Chains A and B, each alone.
Chain A
Amino acid sequence: MNQEELKVVEPAIAETNSPTQAIAVSIQKVNKWYGNLHVLRDVDLDVAAGERVVVCGPSGSGKSTLIRCINNLEEHQQGTIVVDGIQVDHNIAHLDAVRREVGMVFQSFNLFPHLTVLENCTLAPMLVRGVARADAEAQARAYLERVRIPDQANKFPGQLSGGQQQRVAIARALCMKPKIMLFDEPTSALDPEMVKEVLDTMVSLARDGMTMICVTHEMGFAREVADRVVFMDHGQIVESGSPQAVFGQPKTDRLKLFLGQVLRQH
């Protein structure tokens, strides 16, 4: 109890003292079940502002569920999640605030197929943040430039390649000016030749200091940008540490087994 209260208060204090040390996401003793299936077991994870965390683990280990709990796409049943000082609970105002802080990129892109690339990027800023159309479009074009697809703005998502679509999805999320970005296996649905263009975009985002939590098995990416790698199995965080430590000196059999499988695939 005491500990929980401390954690909730902590971000606010930290923020006033030194912004770089602020905690962006605080996950404390989170448990979640689907029926009888215990998918998250006492998960603790604090992510500092500006930190890049890569989450890896075997399929079905609860990685997606964990990051989807952060923006309440899934509801957790026990424990606390605090995003930038805002508690993720049943309070609608809190949830709305959290959704504005957190951007998300999905494995299957989830672009709006009936809207052009530009409209995909301007819709939410105009509707949610009340940005004027001209400003929203200027900003969208700037982000599309950043993900290196400025000349596709008036096409429909269906006319783009998978890699281009995923970069539009990243631009769309960035247009909401989130403080934290979640990535759920952003390259898993892509043909191999398109993986790099998406990873390059993510690397450049990381270089700019975005707080990122990425579920991915791209070890090269993890080595290049991650401050921390978290290995999950059966709903638990099994190991975490620097990429060199986690990939180089795995301590548990489960991680060794997993690394063996991933390396064999790549």
Chain B
Amino acid sequence: MGNVIGIGAAPKRKEDQRFLTGRGNYVSDIKRPGMTAGVFVRSPHGHAILRGIDKAAALASPGVIAVLTGDDVKADGLGSLPCGWGISDAKGVPMKEPPFPMLAQGKVRFVGDMVAFVVAETPEQANAGAELLNIDYEVLPSVIGVLEAVRPNAPQLFDDVPDNICCDWELGDKAAVESAFRRAAHVARLSLVNNRLIGNPMEPRAAIAEYEPGTDRFTLWTTSQFPHVVRFLMGALVLNIPQHKLRVVAPDVGGGFGVKQFHYGEEAVITWAAKRVKRPVKWVASRSEGYVSDRHGRDHVTEAELALDENGRFLAFRVNTLANMGGYLSTFGPNIPTNLYGPLLGGVYTTPAIYCNVKVVFTNTVPVDAYRGAGRPEATFVLERIVDVAAAEMGIDRVEIRRRNMIPKEAYPYQTPVLVQYDSGDPMGCLDGALEAADVKGFGVRKAASAGKGKFRGLGYSTYVEACGLAPSRFAGRLGARGGLYESATVRVHPTGQVTVMIGTHNHGQGHETTFAQIVSDKLGVAFENVDIVFGDTDRVQFGMGTYGSRSLVVGGAALSKATDKVIAKGKKIASHLLEAAEADIQFESGKFSVAGTDRMKTFEEIAGAAYVPHDYPLEVLEPGLEEQAYYDPVNFTYPGGCHIAEVEVDPETGTVTLVNYTAVDDVGTVINPMIVEGQLHGGIVQGVGQALFENAVYDEGSGQLLSGSLMDYCVPRADHMPMMKVATHATLCTHTPMGVKGCGEVGTIGSPAAVINAVVDALSHLGVTHVDMPATPNRIWRLLQNASLPVAAE
């Protein structure tokens, strides 16, 4: 028998056995009998009227089985891709929600917009057929940037969306903020851009659909982070397939970062096509195809103002943002730059008044939606940057100004002026820990050493908090969520005492199979190896909202914990009968049910056996079997946070920024598996560093072409960009989640961009540089140095 491996231990990951030995089962590994190949034909134009499509040559091409277009979608009466959030403006007017057809109808609105689907015997034949499709476009000017899109006379994407504004959203007490600004001793101002990002999961998106006429059932295998949500959105709202006739499977998925947490048109088209061609259809995106169709992230232009009193205390914070939505509303699109942004603008500070206006804008770009951190990195970046700007302008040390404004540990629970109430936290403790770990005291010596080599060294801080564990349904519903955000888990105890868990979250790299097994092993006292986690199949798992927003452990783990408690409760009932003791006297500990104060006991295995072999069993009061299910809807968000400190070196000759040290002390609540948490922090930090220094999705204004259309032009961070990171946790326990957990999936991406850019600005501050936009590329830094007040040689 194996060992119990419980909460706080760091076993190697269960799932790595199959991943590291090449035995994963990804969508593109799956082959179905009689399978055909599908290829999407995508718009090469950013904006154009679709005059007509001549299918004849494509249909005549060898091996081509079908060519489907927007007209076929219309003829079959199919729905448009739904948006899961409906936000409203200050007057309560709902956002503009133009239809998002799964294949373009009448117009194309971004390079990559889907125009047709070609099904053939082989991928080569489908590609050859696709090249023969004759599409008549009347090209229109594209509009890419948000500033350009809201100008008068800008190209307009939708006839009924004037100025391309989807929603003019606001949050906070505008009048209180204005009055605080009038009283302010100092006002810091900052204009910034939050750069557009492409998610780049290692596995590109893919899907296979199959229709079984004998049962009238569809199966869709898809690279999804939330198969049940795809089943609901696609079945109920797009294709009109009853839920019991649709199975959605998301098998092993090679990373998501949010890119795979939306219902994509490709899924609907393939499922629809499978029935039309009466054979399974498979599509696997290329990396380049992903670049023009995977939802992008971020893309804000922001003006921020911070009002302070003469002692550097924050009086009020005002933020005006233009957020790019791309060509259509994606599943969570309008929620990201509003509900996941505005409420985070309080940060870890006691700022009493905050006002935020966000104009959500359509442009001729790939739809923008959640990408790791989603809204919260943007909020953190604005706030942590302007705090540094204010400190510099008022001549206050950057750490000191943070301390002066920080919420003290004793003040939790803390109600912010922007909806959210933090349940717990200790930002000062994280800051102190990070200052120590980063050897901030020794920075002066290191800076001098860099100067000796002709390099500028800088240090940057980010003390941040985020809101995750998405989400309390009641709260989300008020903000415009059109669905619930709970999670479910079933704990099935087999007659021999082993356990299978069915859970609605989806593991695509996060190590759930290990973390969740540890929870069960810990609570039930069964061996770690005797617990398997099942996810990603609507036929096997009862229900689930999937994995995103650092919710899997916080919400899914809570459901699992509850279900496990129910198993224990039922086990106690069985034990009470078998041990002939009152139920209240039965204790459960370390896998044993015992009668308090006696040595009479039954093992967990014995109870499981009795549940399934009910010869001597209380049938009159209990059903046989040992399987319990729980749904958990959180009462609040969780609020992980911490302090990140970045140290950079700038080569003034070339403008190159090198990250030389990185320290993070994060409060993620209870840590189940420290190795997995560390991995999540590492990965998140690297992605945040990627945003700060390297990544940028660039479009050509006018033509709408994506100029950073491949890994040759879009720079993802690599191992050699990173120093060894120092990460540690400083936990305060969440007061409302069952295990005190807070979530750790996104903290790295949220805390790090500001820390890195603050370090770059610090390195260049002696030259009069006060802000650097992301990514801080060599060219951009060189340009700043060219324009800087001092000659470089003066250093």
| A, B bound | no
Could you tell me which A residues sit within 8 Å of B by CB distance?
none
